[in-house]
Homo-oligomer: A and B are copies of this chain.
Amino acid sequence: MNTGKDHIIKSYDAELGRLTGEIVRMGELAVTQLEAAIDVLERRDERAAQHVVANDEAIDQLEQAISHDVVRLLALRAPMAGDLRNVFAALRIASDIERIGDYAANVAKRSIPLSMAPPVAPTGGLRHLAEMAATATREVLAAYRDGNVESAYRVWKNDVVLDEAYTGYFRELLTYMMEDPRNITPCTHLLFMAKNIERIGDHATNIAENTWFQVTGETLDSQRSKRDFTASPQLDRLGPPVDND
């Protein structure tokens, strides 16, 4: 027989399930935005870029709605232990996705001045970075949805490859800037775009950490995404330190 308490518990689970589904959809939207941003850059399509920038508002609103849902859920019920962990992870993951959306919009935004100037440095390196970041984000969203800690751990561990690709592209851009001062302004845009994509990878690792925490109740080393390449004296002079924001 269904007691009142069972009913509340069931609908609480149902609400949590609905929340997870919403967060995963929001994440898919953010990944689509990143892919669109790279497309508009390569097509030098200013109008389409403006469209990507405007679309970010939808992600921001989803995150606000999810946060409000969570706070209301917490206020109306009294979840404990494991449930609290789910709710806490949901809040954090929604916030990470919101920022992934922001970074994708930044890439689209900076493609606008680039589309107006003569073509410069190849943008193939940027596409490569974006594809790695998109793959990591999709994989970690699936890991979150399925509670798959192995998959989450793989994403988390793999971010170092994106960081290395970022450092390589950063150096490549520096050489274009040194070759011809006319490359400096457009290449600074590409530098910032690459940085935005590298940061998307960091947020994918945050989602991996929160997935891990939700499932196991333990934390992955929170220092993981703060690796600092400045530890290498050679890179100190030439490469970018890995920001953390």
The distance in angstroms between the C-alpha atoms of A243 and B103, with both chains bound, is: 8
- Assess whether A181 is interfacial by the CB under 8 Å rule: yes
Number of copies: 2
Inter-chain contacts of A53 with B (CB < 8 A): 228
Compute how far the CA of A95 lies from the CA of B185 in the bound complex, rounded to whole angstroms. Answer: 33
For residue A82, give the distance in angstroms from its CB to the closest CB of chain B.
12
Interface size on A, residues (CB 8 A): 54
Report the separation of the CA atoms of residues A188 and B178 in the bound assembly, to the nearest whole angstrom: 12
A245 touches B74 (CB 8 A): no
Q: Mark A71-96, 1 if CB is under 8 A from B, else 0.
A: 11011101110001001100100010
Chain A interface residues (CB < 8 Å from chain B): 53, 56, 60, 67-68, 71-72, 74-76, 78-80, 84, 87-88, 91, 95, 99, 102-103, 105-106, 109-110, 112-113, 116-117, 174, 177-178, 181, 184-185, 188-189, 191-192, 195-196, 199, 222, 228, 230, 233, 236-238, 240-241, 243-245
- CB contact under 8 A between A230 and B68, given known A102-B244, A184-B184: no
Q: Which 10 A-B pairs have the closest CB atoms?
A: A74-B74, A178-B181, A102-B245, A113-B236, A106-B243, A109-B241, A177-B184, A102-B244, A112-B230, A71-B88
Question: What are 19 inter-chain pairs, A to B, with CB distance below 8 A?
Answer: A56-B244, A60-B222, A71-B91, A74-B75, A75-B78, A75-B84, A78-B78, A91-B91, A102-B243, A106-B241, A109-B230, A112-B230, A113-B241, A174-B188, A177-B181, A185-B238, A189-B240, A196-B243, A196-B245
